[in-house]
Structure formats: C-alpha cells, structure tokens
Structure 1
C-alpha cells in the first residue's frame, strides 16, 4: 500500500501538525500599482482565500457587514472565505469592478494592474489561493471574515519585504520551478497570518482548535490525522490516550462538536476527495488507505457524504486571470 500520509515532524504538537498540513493550490498573483483616487471591487470567489499585502502607501478594505480595515505599509490582510470586498484609497472613492480594469498579463499566474487618478501612490500585492487539504478546510472555516497582521517589528518587516520581492521576481522571470516557489512562499505568508490570529484571538481557544490543544483529545486527533487507515474505534482511541470510553467520548464530542466515529469518517472521506482531486488514484488502493476492507464499502461511505460516487469527482480547474469563478 502506498503511504500517502503527510510526513510530520515527530515533535510537532497537534495544532502545529495541522498548520504543517496546510497546502495551497491554484495561486494567482497580482501586483497593483495604484494612484489616488482608486477603488477596486473584487467579486466573491467561492472556495478560495484572498490576501492583500501593502508594500507602499495605504488604503481601505471593506467587507459587507464588517468595519472597514485600514491597509498600511507592511500589513498583511486575509479574506479567508472568498467574500466579495472592496479596496480603495478613501472611503468616498468609487470602486471599479475588478474585471473591468485592464491588466498586463505576464503569465498564467502573474499579472500587473495599473489603476487610478494619478495622485498619491500605493503599491499592493493580491494573491488568490485555494486550500485542498481537509485540515485547511476545517481551520479556514473557523477564521473570521477578515484577518490582519500589521504589527510587524523591524526584523519581520524586512523578512516580509524580502519574501515579496522574491515572489515578484520568480513570477516575472518564469524560471523552472517558479510556480512551486511562489506557492510555497504564499503558504508561509498565509500561515504567518493564521499563527498571529491563533496567538491572540479568543475564538482560537474554542471548538476544534481547543480540542487540538487539549492534552488527550489533541493526541487522539493527531492519531486520526496521521493514520486514517487504522481500524479506529472509540474504545481504541480512549485507551491510546489513557481515558475511559465514556469520558473520552463525552469530552471529544464537547470539544470537537461531533461524535468520535463521525469525525473519523468525515476525515477519511475528505482526505479521499483531496487525493482524487490531485490525480488518478485507483479506488481499491484509496479504499485501503482510508481503512476500508472493500472498494464498495468505501464508495458507499463516500456517496453518503458527498452525494456522488468517488468516480464522479473531478479535479478543480486552476485559477486563471480574468476567468476566476464567482458565486454569481
């Protein structure tokens, strides 16, 4: 059987392992050279995360139902759930629909936008990414509608600017492996923002995130995540973490928000879906990797969860400038 489990460092804590599993796909990179007055209306992008980094100047980011957020030089701002939003130079500046603004398309993954009225200069980076791993989907679902990191100290700011320059160079020169470099550096930027939120947000101490930090439930989650092919049971997991069956079951449900075996099944099925989207995987082998003794049993479980058999799942298309799918 092919080992498809992520190679996690043995010293990692369960929450750290979850961050280790974050994997971005379909990165689209846009460098914006903006002069006041300017405004851009970005459409909702289902299943994606967008983030903006201001490297010079300032602006405002507005998501419906949320307070406007000031984007200053050195700030990194995530819109985790792909919500439509507006960025503009000032609160009263009209916003042009994104796809009505001409861009210079450098490659399939990189474009340059020049927009505005010729006044004060703002330079920003916008990146659109898609998360494919089940761990990422669960984590991103818990994030607020806007996450901002703007308290960079001098060392961190220097590191951020160096990273952005490196991304821009790789995207522009299109050297072999450039897209992989861009994607991995984007991973780092997003994870840094999420780490900052985890360290300060009260919501990070609740639900699934609290369960990952719990000494016993966190260990149980890590074992499920690492070895989905094992024949897990409530009794077996309770024994592994040194708890009685009843106490373990009750605490798991309280923290995670669902019963143990439902979580195990959902984790397996979402992992399976990710592998199917990543390429052609023989269903018999995939069934074994997810702990099922037969392809038929695996297929029935998959269909119960997703409403379609695994053979109907298709790889999501890459994000292409000017052709990003919206929820409209």
Structure 2
C-alpha cells in the first residue's frame, strides 16, 4: 500500500535548483602577470562567477577579509556586488571596463594585463538573473560562495572547458549553449555550498531539506495550479493540519497559502513577460476568473497583469 506521499518528488532541493535558470551570460578569460589588479564593477540583477585556472590571487569585497584563491578555486558573488581581484594587497586595480579586451564573440572576451611576473589565469562570468525563481534562491545565498580546489571542482573545470570551446568555435546555437552552461556552473557551486556549509540549511533552504515541509514545497512547485489547501498538503506529507501549518510558517517564514500565491504570481510574471495572454495565464495557474487573478497579482507584484504584458510586448517589438 502506498503512503500519501509516495508520488511526491524525492529531492525537493534538487527540484528547486532545477528552476534556477539564468540568462545573459558574458565570459572573459583573463591572462594576468604580477603585479596586477582588477576592479570589477557592481551589476544589478547579475551575479559574478570567477574560476582560477592557473596561479593565484586575492579577492576583496567591502567589509570582509580578503579571500586567497588558488588554481581550481571557484567563487560566486550571487548579488553582483563590486569587488577587486589582484595579485597582492598593494597593487593598482583599474576598472576591468577600462582595460582593452579582444572579443572572441559578442559574449566572450580575452584580457591580457599585468607587468610580466608570475602568471595567473581566470575565467570570469557575468550572468543576468531575470526570473523570479532564480532571484528567490539567489537572494538567500551569502554575499560570496567560495569552493576550494578539490575533487568536487573537477566537474566545474570540465564545464568551463566546454564554455571556452563553445565560445571559440562560434557554432549555431552557441549563445543558448553558453547560457545553459552558466546554469550548470552556478548550480554546481550552489550545490557544493549546500553540501559543505551548515549555514546553508537554515531558512527557506533549510525548509527544503526538511523531509515533510520540503516535500510540500516540491509539490507546490510541481503542480502550482492545483487547488491546494493547508489540509490537502498536510495530508500529502503526512501531518496534522495544525502541526503542518505551524511548521511550514516557522521554517519558510510565511504561511503555506501565502507561499503558494507568491509562487503562482512569480510564474505568472514570467509567462506574461513571454507574451502569454492574461486569461491564459490565469487559467493555467488555477484561477477561475481574471479578476481574482488580477487582484492577487497586483498584491504580490505591485503592477497589473495587463501592464506587465503590455510592457513585455512593447519590449519585444523590433
């Protein structure tokens, strides 16, 4: 006999990472010789990823101790904050935007910089975060994720070799491949952090790891249009209604139905931006009337569905 949760997703955390989709990737391979320094500007709605493929350097962010990096290390700055990379504490660090680059493609550049000393090679990526699901997850991450060189990073290095090859060869569909590889890189770093840092299992991420609340979240993500209630989700886990409601709020930080509504509205925002009609989106997310959908959307997003769709269509016109 099957339990009530027999069909629930077995890996709610993995399912959340599945929805971490990114876009607008730009890569740069930097060939650097000491002494050298680079100032990386902040970019809103982006994240930075850096991989040291040879040599070493230090990464400096505001209000934190410098982080030494060596070959094989990977760092992710999920919030796109400005920072410095340099060979030593006193080296001049001009803005990377002011240094000459050789453009291999419109999304891949090569930078040569430094004074002829010890060599360091970096591969850096700027990735736009433009889906609500991705932002929800990245907002929970610390300002910097550092993955030390280890057997785990071999997968990351292999992915980066694919990035470099794809950027050089300019094959059809290369931009889409680079974007998907960026997804893979970021997920690899986040997954490594989840595996090794106890702080990763707090808040919403901790809720995903909870055997019952994590499954409930995964059920919502799998079928957001279903007419879920607190009682029906509690039965799927299984827990009593009151215990489930209390535990969900304690771990996630908001009541279960508020979470469900916010998840639906984030999906609606993506679909409206893609040009879907308001009635189509409302029906696809389980709303029987556009009016009820519109009220929920405006409350969560702060704009009407029609305004978002009109803006998306205007943007899409040539």
1:160 & 1:14 partners in 2: Cα distance? 23
Q: Is the 8 A contact 2:74 2:149 kept in 1?
A: no
Deviation of residue 86 (structure 1)? 0.7
2:68 & 2:125 partners in 1: Cα distance? 18
Segments of 4+ in structure 1 off by > 6 A?
Answer: none
Q: Is the 8 A contact 2:147 2:153 kept in 1?
A: no
Residue 230 to residue 77, structure 1, CA distance change in 2 (3 Å):
same
Deviation of residue 18 (structure 1)? 0.9
The match for 2:293 is 298
The match for 2:231 is 235
- Tell me the SS of whatever aligns to 2:212: helix
The match for 1:163 is 159
Residue 12 to residue 129, structure 1, CA distance change in 2 (3 Å):
farther
Q: Which residues of 2 match residues 154-303 of structure 1 at below 5 A?
A: 156=152, 158-277=154-273, 279-303=274-298
Mind listing any 5+ residue stretches in structure 1 that lack a counterpart?
1-8, 318-328
Residue 214 to residue 165, structure 1, CA distance change in 2 (3 Å):
closer
1:104 & 1:315 partners in 2: Cα distance? 34
Mean alpha-carbon deviation: is it higher for 156-165 or for 31-40?
156-165
Q: Equivalent of 2:126, from 128, 146, 150?
A: 128
Residue 204 to residue 294, structure 1, CA distance change in 2 (3 Å):
same
Deviation of residue 158 (structure 1)? 4.8
The match for 1:40 is 38
Residue 12 to residue 26, structure 1, CA distance change in 2 (3 Å):
farther
Mind listing any 5+ residue stretches in structure 2 that lack a counterpart?
1-6
Deviation of residue 10 (structure 1)? 7.5
1:305 & 1:11 partners in 2: Cα distance? 27
Higher relative CO (CA 8 A, sep ≥ 6), structure 1 or 2? Answer: 1
Instruction: State the TM-score, normalized to the length of structure 2.
Output: 0.90
1:288 & 1:50 partners in 2: Cα distance? 37
Q: Is the 8 A contact 1:22 1:131 kept in 2?
A: no
Mean alpha-carbon deviation: is it higher for 131-140 or for 283-292?
131-140
2:104 & 2:15 partners in 1: Cα distance? 36
Mean alpha-carbon deviation: is it higher for 157-166 or for 11-20?
157-166
Q: Equivalent of 1:309, from 293, 300, 304?
A: 304
- Tell me the SS of whatever aligns to 1:125: strand
- The C-alpha deviation readout for 1:226-271, integer Å capped at 9, x for no partner, is 1111112112212222222211111110010111111111111111
2:69 & 2:102 partners in 1: Cα distance? 24
Instruction: State the TM-score, normalized to the length of structure 1.
Output: 0.87
Deviation of residue 198 (structure 1)? 0.5
The match for 2:53 is 55
The match for 1:6 is none
Within the alignment, does 1:119 sit opposite 2:126 as a pair?
no
Q: Is the 8 A contact 1:228 1:289 kept in 2?
A: no
Deviation of residue 63 (structure 1)? 1.0
1:106 & 1:217 partners in 2: Cα distance? 47
The match for 2:95 is 97
In the alignment of these two chains, the number of paired residues is 306
Deviation of residue 157 (structure 1)? 5.2
The match for 1:87 is 85
Q: Is the 8 A contact 1:52 1:127 kept in 2?
A: yes
RMSD: 2.0
Q: Is the 8 A contact 1:132 1:274 kept in 2?
A: no
2:127 & 2:281 partners in 1: Cα distance? 26
